[in-house]
Structure 1
Amino acid sequence: MNSTVTADNSAQAHGGRKGTLNSPSFLALLATQFLGAMNDNMFRWFIIPIGKPVIGDAEALSLGLACFTLPYLLLASVAGYLADRFSKRTVIIACKVAEILIMVLGIWAIQIGNIYLLFSIVALMGCQSALFGPAKFGSIPEMLRDNRLSRGNGLMGLITVISSALGFIAGNYLFHITQPSLSNPGTFSDLKIAAFALVGVAVLGTLVSLKIRKLPVAAPDREFPFNPAKETWHQMQLLRSSTPLLRTALGVAFFWMLASLAQMNVDTYGINELQLSQKDIGPLLGILVFGVALGSILAGVWSSGRIELGIVPLGAAGIVFTSMMLFLTGNSVGPGAENATNLHYSLSLFWLFLLGVSSGLFDIPLETFLQHRSDVETRGSILAAANFLAFAFILVASFAFWVMQKHLELSASQIFMVLGLLTVPVGIYIFKLLPNATIRFMVWLVSCTIYKLRVKGLKNLPKKGGALLVANHVSWLDGIFLILTSTRPVRMIAYSTYVEAPWVAWLSRLYNTIPINVEDGPKALMKSIKTARTAIENGELVCIFAEGKLTRSGYLQPFQSGLMKIIKGTGAPVIPVYIDELWGSIFSFHGGKFFWKKPRRWPYPVSIRFGKPIPHPENEKHVQRVVQNLGVDAANFRKTYQMIPPRLFLRKCKSQRFQLKVADSMGDERSGGMLLTGALVLRRLLNKFVLKPDEKMVGVLLPPSVGGCAVNASLAISGRVPINLNYTLSDSDINYCIQEAGIKTVLTSQKFLEKRPIEMDANVLLLDDLKSKVTLWDKLFCMFQAFLVPAWIIERSIGLHRVKSDELSTVIFTSGSTGRPKGVMLSHHNIISNINSADDLLQLSPKDCILGILPFFHSFGYTISLWMPFVRKMRSCYHFNPTDARTVGKLIEKYQVTLFATTPTFLRHYLKRCTKEQFASMDVVITGAEKLPQSLAREFEEKFGIFPTEGYGTTELSPVAAVNVPPSRQLDPDEISAKPGTVGRPVPCVMAKTVDPETMQDLPEGEEGLLFIKGPNVMKGYLNNPEKTAEVIIDGWYNTGDFARIDEDGFITITGRQTRFSKIGGEMVPHLRIEEIITGIVSDPEADESEVEVAVTAVPDPRKGERLIVLHKPLHKSVDEILKELSQEDLPNLWLPSSDSFLEVDSIPLLGTGKLDLAKIKQIASEAFPVEVTS
């Protein structure tokens, strides 16, 4: 018997349209079943109390059940014939009409006082139900899509048990209010309430059944079974021919036997053990039935669109336990009514409820499996045979109950004990048959309480046939999650040292794990590969973690070639799989520790994406790129549920309410609680006195400082968009930015404007003026919120929970190195995804402190220096002048800074003026914006013991796109996480590729081309410039404008900027390459300050198209000396500037970020070398 069955979506062989759970036809079927089951039980439990005084309690209960059940055995073949030979709708309607007539006969039998006739009519009601059953259950798979079968059966079970409970209560109530007696029969007027109820429900059920749509005839040529015994035998043989179906039918039959015993026993248990009257028995059976209903729903929900047989052993265990508890509860009541307490009654209700839940879990998966696995042509016969078994067991239950009550003289409590003991061997047998499914489901159930699992793309798994699943490897639980989420059994390929350990060896054999170990030699390796190939050829799913080991850095490691050896020649597809968000869990190596770390969240989010099949993969690199692309999709999907940075800011400030959170060089220090208090106070003041409700974009002119942090945070938690204006721009450019963003108000300070006076076309608010408006109430209330009120209450009170991840977080205006500033729109999702990537690689901890020296109008300063410490449990300190090396050194020493990012230009300042002792706490230094000379990196390492690494990013990429992991954060020396001379690999969930700039076709590894980046860090677009946005973002890929090479390990080497190339004589000449060589030639190691000394640009030339121009500061070498050394660098002659193309300047123009001001450089060159006009 297969442990898990997934229904296929193939077209039906017999026509008809399959619908959903809310289709009118299925709802009509549910209503018909509800009214029918209610009437069955209402009539039976109306009759049983009438018969008790005449033939005895045990006899009335057993006989009532036997009379109702016997027709199911005698008419099983006829019921199957009708369900196959005629439309099931016709059979259902005919049965409902017969129900009306039977109810009328029943009332007449009570009037004449004939006990034998009365129980004969109960048997007639059983005949009607027996003929109705196969048509009803056979209709479900004809009405519903296959992936709705489990839930459909769950609803049918729910409807049945609820209606049965209502019928039980209604029948007893009808008896109580009419009090009919066979020894003294009454008139019709005495029974009119019962008559109206019974006949009325039957009529209503008939009318509802007319709403069921026409259903096709399954077997129109089937002959009537004139020999029912022979037909029943044939049906039983048909069932017996399929061992899984036979076992399932026996399981269903066992359930109905237990249910019948429990139903009869509840009546006796309530009267004898709990000393209740007949009319008070209703709640006991009602709670049992309610439990069955809930168990049926749970079984449908837990099945998740498939048939999950692993639930059945859990149900069996629950039946055993609750039956024993009912025995203990009832047995603890002594003789006499006074001894049955409310506690006994309450405990009985509780255990009956759990017994019902367990029963629902036991039955529904079996019922669904039976329907789905039976062929359409024989489904009626199979279900009829299963019904025959079920009602045979019910008949046995009625006889067994009579024997246990009358002859063995067992109490109702003892009968519950027998019920539990009978289930023990059944549960053991089921577990023995389904160990995989049982363990798999139990692990799934436990994991759902610890992890929140999101699965996408399950439809991409083939429903049959072999395939190789190729996944990334993040944690020790990856294989378990793949087994749990797959709709089919998966054989994992795993290292033998893991799967042969004593405590997992049994499980490994159970799940047919394929062991592999490269250390055992090539023969053993080929044997494992052959085993995997054979499994795929036999139609099985096999999974391999193609990286060959768990990641120690969060990076996707290069895929090994073994996957191609497995799949080659099998004709089976590769199914790419990406496991997301598990990096950082306790079962990953995040933080350098496995397991022994505190979980970050509970429940912990896990996302798994199954990609489209790859029929013929070119090589392992091809597969890796597809898996990487799934990682990008997974990261982008996070925005549908992840918290935005301002909400995380609230939580982190509260978790550090008494610990230092931010500080600056001006002596301002604030704990998380006080930072949040300040942000909330400022928010109140701005909303009350300054900003209008519709004023979304707000300008900020402040340096990196605690004040700048508070202002940005207050605007963010207000749902507004802080725009930090670039104060290194001209007044004209600043006002251009204000106009572009629609900024009406700019927040700044008097002290700032004194140092940088600006005439702005906006309302300027001096934050100093707000201090006088702060009241004691403002302070106390906001402090109360910050320190005592839960974050979720704050965010709902200020509407922050309504802000979506895809909404705007900020607009960063580019520095304008090549023209007017462009507004780059970054969303909350851009910001948090970039922070997540940085955290994945740097493995941040509460011990970390970041130094923020880059301004907040710089994307790195905004994302990494400002928001990263805001949303992580870490500290930050700030200084407004990155060239002030002495103050920077003091800050690092005072606050024990562990990481900071800067440019190589600024790094030279620190190398000259900071002491080794000041950098003692530092272990991460990352540079960007310009090429990091390896000589500078080595020199820095020699002095401070820290090797600076290089990263890469742009404002449009939020900004980090690639980075070399610093040595101090590399956990595995065998895992390549950094390469000097490169800018690193793309950060997790980000992809890079190079393309031919002319054809835009992808280039292979190692070839230089235009660099494109794809990932959740790609901006929303340029503000008010959709044309430019469409120009640089193509199918999610951002054109960086940089030329680069990507090596076989994925490391990127930037070779130049598209705008920093000249086309001379038809050849592309890179400015950056020439600039680097000349800088190396002219650099003076004895110089006190290391500044940019050379910049290469170009001006138009009438002969060659363009002419190289070298701007330089006063140098210690002559132009001729420079050109002589340059000619020895093996450069093409076209790359060599002429001696009259050198231009001495006082200083090389730079932007506020430390980058070259390319526009200004080109302007100076153009003015010095005007284009010659020829006639």
Structure 2
Amino acid sequence: MACFWLAAALLQMNVLVHAPETYNLSNTQTAIIMSLIAVGIGFGCWVAGMLAKDRVEVGMAPLGGLGLSICMTIFALFEMGLTAFIVILSIAAFFSGFFKVPLGAWIQERVEGRKLGNILAYTNMITFLFILISAGIFAACMKFGNTYTVFAVIAIVGWIMTFVTAFKVPAMLVRFIADSLAKIYFRYEVEGKENIPKRSGALLVANHISLMDFLMIVATIPRQVRFVVAKDVYDFWAWSWLTKRMNLIPIATKGGPERLKAFNEACQREINAGHVVVIYPEGQISRIGHLLEFKKGVEHIARGIDAPIIPVHMEGTEGTFFSYEIGSSNPIKALKGFRKRIHVSIGTPTDPSSKAFHLRQSVIEMSAQSIEKRFADEHTLGLFLKNTAKEMGDLTCTHFEDGGVITVKELALHALKWKSVWMKKSVHKIGILLPKNRENMLANASLVLAGKISININPSFEDDQLKAIVLESEVVLCEEAQRSKLESLGAECLLISDFLKELENEKDVSSVPNHINKIGHGKEIKTTDIATIIYQYDEENNIVRVPLSHMNVMAGIKGLLLVNKFEGGAKMLGLMPFHTSNGYILDLCMSTFIGVQNFHYDPMKGPEAIAAKMKAEQVELFVGNRALIESVDAIDHKVWASVKTLISGEEKLNEELRTRLKETYDLEVRESLHALRSGTLIALNTPDYVVQGVVGRPLVQVGSHEASLGRPIPGLAIRTVEENDFDHVLDEDQVGRILIKGAAVTPLLDPSFYYKGWVDTGRRGFIDEAGFVHLSE
């Protein structure tokens, strides 16, 4: 700080001489230049404060010194016109603010209580001493040189300040650079910064999905943090001096238990000394989209610290620069994700006795909360369809049983035309009782665009059950064959034939691709608006009413895509009816939005017809329950030759079939768990990731567990609780009632299903230490 004032005093005295002597300026004109210096310093201080916000960014000081030094070097070496002189002088003044503000703030942060006054007084005394020294330096320079000599001396002082500051606080410089890069490249928000202790130590445990995670940690944590690095990297001669100055903690990649003991002790020393240490308990970057198992090492470190453990969750860096696509061993190197929204959540401090399992559960719950907040501000299903149509509009998304096909672009354009008819009708809830055909698909898509609610009706319901559904519908879109029955139940019917006649009066936009841009115009639709209401049987064979919002459907789709890689154009056999939550979300919406070719087919035709269809179309993605899969297999074993992804329900296939599929076709059966009362896909087994590691051992990430139903879908939190005490959250491997919450879970179910924001699935099971869900029923 004193050196800064020495340079500032020299500059002030020198400008008072240099301006009249070199540019023949009057005293008034010179005073104006001096006022510009004051304005530049003030503006620099304001910008420095804006960049730092609520943090003390000492890392700005080297940047400020660099700017000042470069400007003074230019003055010392080159003669220039008055305009150039004023501009460069203003720039130098601006960068001076970057030096002054952080150092002043740093002193006030570092010194506590009554000592602050003494330190500030001492600092002022040293500052005035250096200002006095500057007068002597100026006099000597003018006696033996000229004003250019003074500029050279200021430049030398500036360069010394810059290098000394950068050498003393390299970690703070790196933090400021990281924060600046993060602010430029991403749009990030931080929640829970108040949970980081201001002076005492803490252990941060964070999820790991990208090589850029360290950037977000450095940018968002309002403390200087200690990271862990491989010892080989730490000791490399070219930068070992820097790794030591940055207080990195080395961990040996080879050796026995002693290396881990030494690492744990190093972390404990740093934390107990009042520092913040960051570790990634997963031990590696997730390549499978799921949060991996938390290693027990975090518990070993925690045993020797007297400080809190703080969970941290980063959401949104997947799919960006230096993250990994599902199953990929190479990071993304293209500059993807520019200005993408990143959400960093800093959780509530927990006791150091916390188990790794509970820390992982905390991060999972934070993930669900942050994803729900992001989805609340994101696109509706209609805008999702619009973006898909622009990206891969010419790709066929659906094949109908009558041989017809429709591309994503055609679906969007025709749905817009249908929307115009719906917008002229005053009804808001529309029942749909149609075969699974083109008209059914367009009716559902157009109602989404119109901001109205579809109610797909299950024709197999009893009359008393149907009556309640059709009465909730203000009008039912149906065929002539169903008209009399529906009207007898009190429904107002709209025949599909009459609707199509009304459609003939609307302008044909199918040949105007740019018309897709009109999606989203007109009525404002929110992500929390209801898109459809599902009436379906739950696990106890009771009919439940499940309203699904745009956010619920999109969260289910995107959560599934985060842990599955579906090839564009892959062929899927669509057997699920739209009047079920799985049929609406997976068969209708997801297959359309991800570019999968969906072959709609009536499952009532039986396994023989289904097997023939699979073989004829070379189906690659098949979703079905145990009974259907085993029935199809009994018809023809060879139908699985083309299948790459086989998703089943919670009932396990017989062992002989599982073994044969694996040995013959290298096809893993991927069991899943659904909560029918909330219309939510809870968990899914996903492919394992295996590759040769950098230290000679295989790198394995387990995505499936044969005895389980998979890990929770990203964005969904799950816990098990005591049957008679939902406040008692259970440990790993303890059987209890399964509760869920997240963006994919509707908040509009029967109130009896909820408990403090969690939905009771009505199922019993447990979660193992790796996060896999098991049913006990």
TM-score tier by shorter-chain length is 0.7 to 0.9
2:590 to 868, 875, 878: 868
Structure 1 counterpart of 2:349: 613
Match of 1:447 in 2: 182
Whole-Å separation in 2 of the counterparts to 1:286 and 1:717: 60
Q: 2:284 is matched with which residue?
A: 549
Q: Which amino acid aligns with 1:1014?
A: K
Partners of 1:720 and 1:285 in 2: CA distance: 66
CA contact (8 A) 2:308 2:351 kept: yes
Query: 1:976 is matched with which residue: 702, 717, 730?
Result: 702
Contact 1:985 1:1050 in 2 (8 A): yes
Aligned to 2:359: 623
- Residue 523 of structure 1 aligns with which residue? 258
**Residue in 2 that maps onto 1:963:** 684
**Aligned residues between the structures:** 767
Matched residues in 1 for 2:121 and 2:598: separation?
77
Task: Give the AA of the match of 2:745.
Answer: V
The 10-residue stretch of structure 1 (703-712 or 614-623) with the greater mean CA deviation from structure 2: 703-712
Deviations 1:718-752 (A, max 9, x none): 33333333333345433412334xx3233456799
Residue 627 of structure 2 corresponds to which residue in structure 1? 905
Shift of 1:984: 1.9
Name the counterpart of 2:475: 745
3-state SS of paired residue (1:906): helix
- Aligned-residue sequence identity (percent) comes to 23
CA shift digits 1:44-101 (9 cap, x unpaired): xxxxxxxxxxxxxxxxxxxxxxxxxxxxxxxxxxxxxxxxxxxxxxxxxxxxxxxxxx
Compute the displacement of 1:570 (Å).
3.1
The Cα of 1:349 is off from its aligned counterpart by 6.8
Deviations 1:1120-1154 (A, max 9, x none): xxxxxxxxxxxxxxxxxxxxxxxxxxxxxxxxxxx
Identify if the C-alpha distance between structure 1 residues 1012 and 401 changes in structure 2 by more than 3 Å, giving closer, same or farther: same
Match in the other structure for 1:130? none
Q: Any conservation in 2 of the 1:994–1:1002 contact (CA below 8 Å)? A: yes
- Alpha carbons of structure 1 residues 253 and 422: separation in structure 2 relative to 1, 3 Å: closer
How far apart, CA to CA, are the structure 1 residues paired with 2:239 and 2:720? 45
Does 1:301 pair with 2:22?
Answer: no
User: Aligned-pair distance for 1:520?
Assistant: 0.6
Q: Check 1:608–1:764 CA distance in 2 against 1; reply closer, same or farther (3 A cut).
A: same
Distance 1:564 1:644, change over 3 A: same
- Aligned residue for 2:227, secondary structure, equals strand
Give the CA deviation at 1:974: 3.0
| Separation in 2, partners of 1:779, 1:277 | 74
Distance 1:973 1:760 in 2: 62
Hey, what does 1:311 align to over in structure 2?
A: 60
Indicate conservation of the 8 Å contact 1:703/1:856, yes or no: no
- The match for 2:742 is 1015
Unaligned runs of 5+ in 2: 693-697
Residue in 2 aligned with 1:508?
Answer: 243
SS at match of 1:836: helix
> Aligned AA for 2:295?
Q
1:1040 match: 761
How far apart are 1:656 and its partner, in Å? 1.7
The change in CA–CA distance for 1:947 and 1:464 in structure 2 (over 3 A counts) is same
Q: Secondary structure at the match of 2:603?
A: coil
| Partner deviation per Cα, 1:140-172 (whole Å, 9 max, x = no partner) | xxxxxxxxxxxxxxxxxxxxxxxxxxxxxxxxx
Q: Could you tell me how far 1:859 is from its partner in structure 2?
A: 1.0
Determine if the alignment matches structure 1 residue 785 to structure 2 residue 521: no
Instruction: Identify the residue that residue 358 of structure 1 maps to in structure 2.
Output: 95
Kindly state the Cα deviation for residue 951 of structure 1 after the two structures are TM-superposed.
0.4
Which of these residues, 369, 381, 404, is aligned with residue 106 of structure 2?
369
Distance 2:445 2:66 in 1: 54
Residues in 2 aligned to 1:615 and 1:697: alpha-carbon distance in whole angstroms: 50
Q: State the match for 1:1088 in structure 2.
A: none
Paired residue for 2:421? 685
Report the alpha carbon displacement of residue 684 of structure 1 after superposing the two structures with TM.
2.6
* Displacement after TM superposition at 1:1002 (Å): 4.5
Match in the other structure for 1:19:
none
Q: How far did residue 506 of structure 1 move?
A: 4.9
**Alignment check: 8 A CA contact 1:923 1:968 kept:** no
Separation (CA, whole Å) in 2 of partners of 1:257 and 1:577: 48
Aligned partners of 1:953 and 1:959 also within 8 Å: yes
Question: CA offsets per residue over residues 418-477 of structure 1, 9 Å max, x none?
Answer: 654542222112212221111221122112222333222222222233332222332233
Range moving further from structure 2, 1006-1015 or 814-823: 814-823
Is residue 925–residue 966 contact of structure 1 (8 Å, CA) maintained in 2? no
The answer as to 2:577 corresponding to 1:855 is yes
Report the secondary structure of 2:705's partner residue.
Answer: coil
Q: Decide which moves more: 879-888 or 556-565.
A: 879-888
8 Å CA contact retained: 2:6, 2:133: no
One-letter amino acid of the structure 2 residue matched with residue 254 of structure 1: A
The structure that is strand-richer by fraction is 2
- Is 1:493–2:228 an aligned residue pair? yes
Aligned to 1:254: 7
The 1:718/1:405 distance shift into structure 2, 3 A limit, reads farther
Q: Distance in 2 between matches of 1:856 and 1:503?
A: 62
- Aligned Cα root-mean-square deviation (Å): 4.0
Q: Looking at secondary structure, tell me which structure has more helix per residue.
A: 1
Q: TM-score, normalised on structure 2?
A: 0.86
SS of the residue corresponding to residue 488 of structure 1 reads coil
Aligned residue in 1 for 2:545:
823
C-alpha separation between the residues in 1 aligned to 2:463 and 2:17? 90
In structure 2, what is the Cα distance between the partners aligned to 1:457 and 1:403?
Answer: 55
How far did residue 540 of structure 1 move?
2.4
**1:685-724 equivalence runs, <5 A:** 685-687=421-423, 689=424, 691-692=425-426, 695-724=427-456
Mapped to 1, the partners of 2:618 and 2:133 lie a distance apart of 79
- Residue in structure 2 matched with residue 1051 of structure 1 by the alignment: 772
Q: For 1:1048 and 1:906, how far apart are their aligned partners in 2?
A: 32
User: What's the offset of the Cα at 1:557?
Assistant: 2.4
Shift of 1:753: 7.4
Q: 1:914 to 1:260 in 2, by over 3 A?
A: farther
Secondary structure of the residue that 1:1021 maps to in structure 2?
Answer: coil
Shift of residue 953 of structure 1?
0.6
Letter in 2 for 1:320: S
The answer on whether the counterparts of 1:704 and 1:853 sit within 8 Å (CA) in structure 2 is no
User: Is the 2:3–2:161 contact (alpha carbons within 8 Å) kept by the matching residues of 1?
Assistant: no
Q: 2:561 aligns with which of 839, 842, 845?
A: 839
Query: Structure 2: how far apart are the matches of 1:421 and 1:656?
Result: 59
Q: What is the rounded CA distance, in whole Å, between the counterparts of 1:356 and 1:718 in structure 2?
A: 57
Select the structure with the greater relative contact order (CA < 8 A; seq sep ≥ 6): 2
| TM-score w.r.t. length of structure 1 | 0.59
Structure 1 residues 685 and 386, CA gap change in structure 2 (3 angstroms): same
Query: Quick one: which of 142, 163, 172 aligns to 1:437?
Result: 172
Summarize the alignment of residues 259-298 of structure 1 with structure 2, pairs less than 5 Å apart.
Answer: 261=14, 271=23, 291-298=40-47
- C-alpha contact (below 8 Å) 2:398/2:600 kept by paired residues: no
Mapped partners of 1:350, 1:718: distance in 2? 57
Take 1:704 and 1:348, find their aligned partners in 2: how far apart are those partners? Answer: 76
Amino acid corresponding to residue 507 of structure 2 in structure 1: T
Contact kept, 8 Å, 1:851 with 1:900, in 2: the verdict is yes
**Residue equivalent to 2:459:** 727
- Which of 506, 518, 522 is the aligned partner of 1:798? 522
Instruction: List per-residue Cα deviations over 1:503-553 (Å, max 9, x = no partner).
Output: 765543232222224631122221222222222232222222222333232
**Deviation of the 1:895 alpha carbon:** 7.0
User: Are residues 373 and 945 of structure 1, via their aligned partners in 2, closer, same or farther at CA, if it must alter by over 3 Å?
Assistant: closer
Segments of 5+ residues of structure 1 without an aligned counterpart are 1-247, 334-343, 1023-1027, 1057-1175
Residue 978 of structure 1: SS of its match in structure 2? coil
The one-character-per-residue Cα deviations of 1:478-497 (angstroms, maximum 9, x if unpaired) are 34432332222222234435
What corresponds to 1:560 in structure 2?
295
